[in-house]
Amino acid sequence: MVNKAEIKRINDFLKDVQEGIFEGYELATMQIRLTELYTVIKTLTEEIAKVNDQKIKTELARLQKRAWGYKQEIEGMLAVRD
């Protein structure tokens, strides 16, 4: 079960990803972040299915939506560079 510390860690990670996207990640860093985003999205999907508390479920869904957006952004950047 996800706790507040884990939610904060994911939120902080997503903030770092957002900053990196706007600052222009190096290719290798983008690939690493993309792999990490896949893991975060998988974790959030699993946790959303387990959680009964609607407030926590909503927070996790919000984080998942942000992660998906950043994933798509990085995938697009990588496709342009190939």
How far apart CA 12 and CA 31 sit, in angstroms, is 19
Closest residue by Cα to residue 36 from 18, 58, 57, 14: 14
Instruction: For the chain of 82 residues, list the mean pLDDT of each consecutive stretch of 10.
Output: 90 95 87 96 96 95 98 90 57
pTM: 0.90
What amino acid occupies position 12?
D
pLDDT of 79 reads 87
How far apart CA 42 and CA 20 sit, in angstroms, is 21
